[in-house]
Amino acid sequence: MFTGLIEETGTILNVDKGLNELYLTIECNKILDGLKIGDSVAVDGACQTVIEIKAKSFKVYASSQTLSVTTFNNLIKGDIVNLERTLRLGDRLDGHMVSGHIDGLATLKNIRKESETTLLTFETDSKLTSQIVNKGSVSINGVSLTVAEINSNLFTIAVIPHTLNNTNLKYLKINDKVNLETDIIAKYVEKYLLSNDNNNNKATTIDMNLLERNGFL
């Protein structure tokens, strides 16, 4: 489990691609302190197991399942990735509960500034936007962010200068794809509502009528 607070960015040193798998070697500094073989590290939000450690880098293995839902297939040498070690019991939870299990991809559609804040608008599948709520939390490339607005398949997140300057979000361009993880609580609520609707056991979406039937309004 992670918090979505990026500890540092790392640089891809090598991408060794197989048929349906790949190995990533990542150069970094801070997170190597105390890192062990078998530990988990969130790489751009995707939980990966460390299989090798060197003086200034570590290596992870990405399975076909990881490749099917992340941007890892597009990574090349020199790319910058966000890195976070796992949450330790007793630590402050300053972000939100991030599992490191990517739900899918989102595409950057707009960038605009409001004073010092950068607003990034993404488009994603409706199955994922159903798990995103205004003022709720999402993880973009592993970064815990607050949803400023949501409209159909589009959602906008607000990024403060510190977050922008210390993550790879500052390198994003229009039509770039990112790893998206929706809020774990939203997933459980959605599953509960859709499977326990009193009047329609075949409900497929959450709407105002469904919420009212289940006592939320």
pLDDT of residue 1: 82
Q: What is the pLDDT of residues 144-197, one digit of tens each?
A: 999 999 998 999 999 999 999 999 999 999 999 999 999 877 676 766 666 665
**pLDDT tens digits along 31-64:** 999 999 999 999 999 999 999 999 999 999 999 9
* pLDDT band, residue 205 (cuts 50/70/90): low
* pLDDT of 61: 96
CB 58 within 8 A of CB 26: yes
End-to-end CA distance of the chain: 32
Of all residues in the chain, what percent carry a pLDDT higher than 70? 82
Running DSSP on this structure, what letter comes out for residue 94?
Answer: -
pLDDT band at 83 (very low <50, low <70, confident <90, very high): very high
Q: Rounded CA gap, 30 and 163, in Å?
A: 17
Domains of the chain (ranges plus CATH)? 8-85 (2.40.30.20), 104-182 (2.40.30.20)
